[in-house]
Amino acid sequence: MTARAVRRPGPDDLDRAWRAVSAELAPTPLVPSGLAPGALLKLETFQPTGAFKVRGAIAAAAALPEGTPAVAASAGNHGLGMGHAAARFGTDVTVVVSTRASQVKVDRIGAFPVRLVQHGTTYDEAEAHAMTLPGHYVSPYNDPAVIAGQGTIGRELDTQADGPLTVVAPVGGGGLLAGLGLWARERGDVRLVGVESAVSRGVHASVAAGRVVEVEVGDTFADGLPGNLEPGSVTPELIGPEVLAGTVELTSVTDDQIRAAMRWLFHEHGLVAEGAGAAGVAAVLAGKAGSAGRLVVVISGRNVTVPTFIDAIRKN
């Protein structure tokens, strides 16, 4: 796959994304939790698509020149976000998913006015195919408007939580963490912890290498986390300096730790979270996300099949 030239987002992108997203979406709840003293859960599960990625999709659709078709690759939630944008703005959208994508997400994407294409058995194969299709490619993580859109979570936290804060969020391609970094730099009292799957640490490896590198991707039921980064992705460039400065930490969790977090969220809060959505809680419960100031954990999505959820919360 040839590297694309993607512009790094800045403060102006975050401002534009905030105008677009705040006009379309109500702020998601921030609720107290017994996870740690003073801890809070940011419930992106309350989004109309069930996941935070609708933010980036709205920001990206709003940034497109009128009449420009959009193409997206997705493990599921980005596709749902782009479907929501297609329905809301009339954007011409094609979504490519792998043949192993979560069926509940595929079915819901297909209910939106989009062209749904299934290609390949992995997200990487779906992404490579999507880039060959006509239209503006809207990456779920390597796109300035998408990254800024995810950062609007922080703009909501400005009015919901006094600092200093430690914000814990899942990491797949790094779009959410990079977007939160845009916001954290302007706020000044925020530490970020990004949580990857232990079997797919593409962002960590790329930050360590100073460039995008390919990693071996193992099997995980948390389908929103695994996959290699697009060559030339800007997310390691955005995250790397913050890691060196000590304002961002990258860690990882196992599937068993994610399952324990899903059980905890269900039993303690009555919340349904998908695997990626519970990754932040998994890191906290495993002692991998120490906090400075008040702890905020982003519960990023709820889109999981009933059998997968039941299996996850059942103690073996």
Residue 151, Cβ neighbours under 10 Å: how many?
A: 31
Task: Pick left, alpha or beta for residue 293 (phi over 0 → left; psi -120 to 50 → alpha; otherwise beta).
Answer: left
Q: Is 139 a catalytic residue?
A: no
CA dihedral in degrees (266, 174, 52, 216; nearest 10)? -50
Contact predicate 59/86, CB 8 Å: no
Please report which helix (H) or strand (E) contains residue 274, including its range.
none
Residue 203 CA, chain-centre distance (Å), reads 13
Paired tokens of 148:
């800024």
Q: Are 91 and 59 in contact (CB under 8 A)?
A: no
Whether a cis peptide bond, with omega within 30° of 0, leads into 164 is yes
Catalytic residue among 33, 42, 53, 206: 53
Contacts of 311 (CB under 8 A, 6+ apart): none
Angle subtended at Cα 94 by Cα 92 and Cα 97, rounded to the nearest 5 degrees: 160
Contact 138, 95 (CB under 8 A): no
Round to whole Å and give the CA distance between 282 and 171. 13
Please tell me what DSSP assigns to residue 306.
Answer: H
Q: Which of 197, 206, 291, 300 is catalytic?
A: 300
Please state, in angstroms and rounded to a whole number, the distance separating the CA atoms of residues 231 and 212.
6
- 315 part of the active site: no
Residues forming the active site: 53, 300
